Structure 1
Amino acid sequence: MELTEVTVGQVTHSVRVDGPESAHIVVLLPGAGEDAAAFDAVCERLHGSDLRTVVPDSVDGLDVEGLLALLDGLGLTYVNLAGNREGAELAWQAAARTFGRFKSLVVADAAHPAITGGDCPAVEIPTTVLVGVDAVRDDAAASGRRCYSDFRVVELDGIGSVPRDAAAAFATEISLRTSMW
């Protein structure tokens, strides 16, 4: 694992970069109170699928512009995007507001922000929402109205944290979205 620091504005972010050298890169955004370690099991599985992973230690203080600056600082121009809870909120916003930068979107326990009253355009990339928390289930299904590409919902019953408790399912959905078949 390579630990890199990228400065965005006045904030320096620690970023884990790991996995095989690959044209397929997955950026994973943790939720509030989580760090990059929340995705350890997911990343291990993604590396086995020949995917390179990039995980900032925290999304605190990151907005869409900050995320794009972080990716620019790492020299990444076209990536797959995944996130958990608050990291998923940022992923929705980035995917919706940045055409041509992201290949796919996979989020856990976060509906499209416009469904819950937030301001966010529709996304135009293949999108999967994994649902482990019942409170998100109906809004996740309604998110399909805000996705102008292939969309699916994967329901996981009784999962407290998708990356921690359902790493195999999360990694599988990310792998499926990175494939062009």
Structure 2
Amino acid sequence: MESRTVTTPGGDVHVRIGGPESRFTVLLLPDADESAEAYDVVCERLHNSDLRTVVVDAGASLTSADVFALLDALALPWVHLAGSGTGAELAWAVASGRFGRFASLVVADRGHPAVPDHAGVVRDPAAPPAEVPTTIVIGDATRRAEADASMRYVTGEFRVVELDGVASVPAEAPADFASAIALRTGSW
């Protein structure tokens, strides 16, 4: 995979870009403690599905403005968005209330910021709905209520994929995560 550094309002961001030249690109936002390498198997599967990937390297502390600057710098006007943990929180933030920049949203273990999470915490009660087809992949049943409650904050098609006993979806269930992403890139 090719490594690039992109300057954003928040500073330089390192990304890994790979896969075939394709009209479909997936922006992957890892959790704060995940390295970009944690997505290698996910990316390999996405590349086999004729998808190009852009993975933000570990340690990047991005804001919504940084994500849009990153997409502009890479000349990516339209992407599929996926993330886990804090990367999923950022994915919700950039996809919510912004129609037309993102084709789909797939998040692991995070519901919409306006619903209580598995610990009962609401991250942003004023967060607008996501206006894209959305899939939430949960690693265990403790997040099911959070995922189900998120449906009222998604104006596109919505689905939940529940796995059993998975602490880190991208690392421990890369085939399931990649499948959820690949299914969102299709027009079926």
Contact kept in structure 2, 1:46 and 1:52, CA below 8 Å: yes
Q: Give unpaired runs (5+ residues) of structure 1.
A: none
1:168 corresponds to: 175
Q: 1:146 to 1:48 in 2, by over 3 A?
A: same
Aligned partners of 2:60, 2:24: CA distance in 1, in Å?
A: 26
Q: CA deviation at 1:46?
A: 0.3
1:98 corresponds to: 98
2:144 corresponds to: 137
1:74 corresponds to: 74
Contact kept in structure 2, 1:30 and 1:59, CA below 8 Å: no
Aligned partners of 1:87, 1:46: CA distance in 2, in Å?
A: 18
The count of corresponding residues between Structure 1 and Structure 2 is 181
Aligned partners of 1:37, 1:18: CA distance in 2, in Å?
A: 12
Q: CA RMSD in A?
A: 1.2
**Alignment deviations for residues 52-86 of structure 1 (CA, whole Å, 9 cap, x no partner):** 00001036321111110011111111000000011
| TM-score (norm. length: structure 2) | 0.93
DSSP-derived class of the 1:75 partner: coil
DSSP-derived class of the 2:21 partner: coil
Q: CA deviation at 1:9?
A: 2.2
Seq. identity, %: 52
DSSP-derived class of the 2:17 partner: strand
1:46 corresponds to: 46
| TM-score (norm. length: structure 1) | 0.96
DSSP-derived class of the 1:114 partner: coil
Moved more, 86-95 or 5-14: 5-14
Aligned partners of 2:40, 2:140: CA distance in 1, in Å?
A: 21
102, 120, 125: which one pairs with 2:127? 120
Aligned partners of 2:144, 2:14: CA distance in 1, in Å?
A: 33
Q: 1:59 to 1:120 in 2, by over 3 A?
A: farther
Contact kept in structure 2, 1:4 and 1:16, CA below 8 Å: yes
2:25 corresponds to: 25
Runs of 4+ in 1 over 6 A off after TM superposition: none
1:60 corresponds to: 60
150, 154, 163: which one pairs with 1:156? 163
Contact kept in structure 2, 1:32 and 1:85, CA below 8 Å: yes
Confirm whether residue 35 of structure 1 aligns to residue 35 of structure 2. Answer: yes
Q: Give unpaired runs (5+ residues) of structure 2.
A: 117-121
DSSP-derived class of the 1:105 partner: strand
Aligned partners of 1:58, 1:95: CA distance in 2, in Å?
A: 21
Q: CA deviation at 1:10?
A: 4.9
Letter aligned with residue 130 of structure 1: V
